[in-house]
């Protein structure tokens, strides 16, 4: 039977962190049903790949929802890995991804996946409000808020958090835009967001619980600069494509 959702976990050097998340995620998704999980690893060395393969193969003996590890021959970045995974959708109507570190807990992943239904995309959002638990280092929270505000203002999209590591997208909407997506690094979700909106797919942001896990790969200086540059390029391309209509 075809799964309804393909949930990709993009991974680069995650063998130390994923063990605290993947078994519980597999358990949660097995109970939920209709979800296939695929770990996509790129750019790690052979030793790291074999550690990941061992983790995945051991869990596959227990959980049929977990697909075998997908490895890419070169490092495409987080977005490139997500898109490479989504290309193997196997007929799933929904394409999703979640970060490997478990910052977003399996019950939260299940809660968002269960919200799929109409043709809307669902983006998790780290909103610090009463009633939700969002724990991040102060400097990451601050930089994240500056970035999110820039994205929102530059692209004229009232988004609160374009970068949260859990998103669920209708495959039909993704297939309309996939051939024009160019960003494969950490800013890929910004391009994905505007392309979906521009093609008429609405997006619902859903506040989630988020517990930052140490060992993150984002370098606050280097990657913030690259992400800001990517947002500027996304904005320019979007402006050009609108004036060419």
Ligand X SMILES: Nc1nc2c(ncn2[C@@H]2O[C@H](COP(=O)(O)OP(=O)(O)O)[C@@H](O)[C@H]2O)c(=O)[nH]1
Residues that bind Mg ion (CB under 5 A): 99, 101, 103, 216
Radius of gyration of the chain (CA): 17
Task: Find where tokens 């008429």 sit.
Answer: 200
Is residue 42 near ligand X by the rule CB under 6 A? Answer: yes
Residue 3 beta carbon to ligand X: minimum distance, rounded to whole angstroms: 21
Q: Which stretch binds ligand X (CB under 6 A): 47-55, 105-113, 196-204, 212-220?
A: 212-220
Task: Find where tokens 């060395």 sit.
Answer: 45
Based on the number of CB atoms within 10 Å of its own CB, is 58 exposed (0-12), middle (13-18) or buried (19 or more)? exposed
Decide whether 89 or 126 has the Cβ nearer to ligand X.
126
Decide whether 26 or 103 has the Cβ nearer to Mg ion.
103
Distance CA 224, CA 203 (A): 24
Site string for ligand X, 89-128 (x = CB under 6 A): ----------xxx---------------------------
Task: Find where tokens 């859990």 sit.
Answer: 166
Is residue 85 near ligand X by the rule CB under 6 A? Answer: no
- Kindly state the greatest CA–CA separation across the chain: 53
Residue 20 beta carbon to Mg ion: minimum distance, rounded to whole angstroms: 12
Strand residue runs (E) in the chain:
5-11, 35-42, 70-72, 94-98, 121-125, 134-135, 166-170, 203-207, 210-211
Is residue 43 near ligand X by the rule CB under 6 A? Answer: yes
Which residue, judged by CB position, is nearest to ligand X in the bound state? Answer: 216
Is residue 230 near ligand X by the rule CB under 6 A? Answer: no
Single residue of 5, 10, 83, 164 touching ligand X by CB under 6 A: 10
Task: Choose the contact partner of 75 out of ligand X, Mg ion, none; CB within 5 to 8 A by kind.
Answer: ligand X
Decide whether 17 or 70 has the Cβ nearer to Mg ion.
17
Distance CA 43, CA 25 (A): 24
């Amino acid at each position: 039977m075809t799964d309804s959702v393909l949930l990709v976990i993009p991974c680069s050097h995650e063998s130390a962190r994923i063990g605290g998340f993947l078994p519980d995620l597999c358990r949660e998704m097995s109970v939920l049903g209709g979800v296939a999980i695929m770990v996509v690893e790129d750019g790690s060395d052979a030793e790291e790949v074999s550690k990941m393969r061992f983790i995945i193969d051991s869990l596959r003996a227990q959980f049929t929802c977990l697909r075998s590890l997908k490895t890419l021959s070169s490092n495409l970045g987080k977005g490139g890995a997500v898109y490479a995974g989504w290309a193997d959708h196997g007929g799933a109507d929904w394409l999703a991804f979640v970060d490997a570190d478990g910052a977003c807990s399996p019950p939260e992943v299940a809660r968002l996946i269960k919200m799929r239904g109409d043709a809307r995309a669902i983006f998790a959002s780290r909103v610090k409000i009463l009633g939700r638990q969002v724990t991040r280092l102060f400097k990451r929270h601050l930089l994240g808020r500056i970035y999110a505000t820039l994205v929102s203002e530059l692209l004229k999209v009232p988004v609160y958090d374009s970068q949260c590591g859990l998103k669920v997208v209708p495959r039909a909407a993704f297939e309309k835009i996939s051939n024009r997506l160019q960003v494969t690094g950490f800013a890929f979700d910004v391009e994905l967001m505007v392309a979906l909106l521009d093609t008429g797919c609405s997006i619902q942001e859903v506040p989630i619980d988020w517990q930052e896990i140490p060992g993150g790969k984002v370098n606050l200086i280097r990657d913030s600069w690259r992400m800001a540059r990517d947002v500027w390029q996304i904005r320019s391309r979007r402006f050009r494509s609108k004036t060419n209509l």
